[in-house]
Amino acid sequence: MTQQILVTLDGTVHDANAPFLYADDLAAIRGDGVFETLLVRDGRTRRVAAHLDRMTRSLEMMALPGMDRDAWQQAIVVAEKEWSATAGNAEGWLRLVCSRGRESAPDAGPTSYVMVGPVGERVRHAREHGVSVITLDRGYSMDLAGRAPWQLIGAKTLSYATNMAAMRYAADQGHDDVIYVSSEGAVLEGPRSTVIAVRGKTLVTPPTEVGILPGTTQRAIFALAEDEGWTTRTEVLRRADLIAADSVWLVSSVTLAARVTALNDYVIPTSPNGDEFRDLVDRAISID
Ligand code: PLP
């Protein structure tokens, strides 16, 4: 069994291999809750404030109780210390989970915990060798978020079953990852990542208004890039824009930057600025 750390919001460290959730927890039976995944690198959890900000927004969108920020921060510190004590400097993913709690005890409040586990081989491979991507129709229009707030577009909910199904579909077709497109053909995001296209010294990403999760990694990269003289833009992208770019990246908190090596049948040539971009990402996620 992989080594994992489990900490509840009161700072208690639990046995991560012992049963923990009630069978009627709404996380388990409805996916009714929110989560965040962060990177622990060199013993320090990265971009904590940005993730807590996004979680606050997700909780609001789902009408879940407001967040006790201090308690989450303290639980993260306990979890990262436990991780360092057991795994040394090994990189870890750190997950924050908050569900609506038990179906049979609606007044008992949310179920909240922090977990840490080892960054796996799939992540290392994607960082080093990139990912071959299939574009898949998400099946709805760019303006759905405004018209149908109950779809919770832009919230990071525990309901990732369709995202996982998209990843399995991609694997069946011989690809490693997915870029969703809207019914109009606009580039959206990956099931677990934000899309960034690099053209010369310009970085471009789709605007969150097209109905995607605001990425904390993309934000960190753009902030540092602007300080260092890059041009950054948010604009609606089409598949053809990705093909025309020097390089295309899927960025996210744990994998950081995976270069898109192929888009459907088109092989994207290696770009000369790949190492420069990876270095920018590594430095960006070190700034809090
Ligand atoms: N979009 C989706 C749907 C995601 O699930 C994720 C991360 O898991 C991202 C984008 C990237 O977000 P972040 O950079 O904050 O990890």
CB atoms within 10 A of CB 236: 16
Name 237's Cβ contacts closer than 8 Å, sequence gap at least 6.
186, 187, 195, 197, 204, 206
Which atom of ligand 1 is nearest the CA belonging to 38? 16
Query: 142 by DSSP, 3-state: which?
Result: coil
pLDDT of residue 1: 63
208 in contact with ligand 1, CB cutoff 6 A: no
How many A from CA of 192 to the centre of ligand 1?
Answer: 5
Q: pTM of this prediction?
A: 0.97
Query: Distance, CA 104 to ligand 1 centroid (Å)?
Result: 32
Query: CA 183, CA 138: separation in Å to the nearest integer?
Result: 7
189 lines ligand 1 (CB under 6 A): yes
CA atoms within 13 A on the CB side of 30: 13
pLDDT given at position 245: 96
pLDDT in tens, 220-255: 999 999 999 999 999 999 999 999 999 999 999 999
Question: What would the mean pLDDT of 118-145 be, rounded to a whole number?
Answer: 96
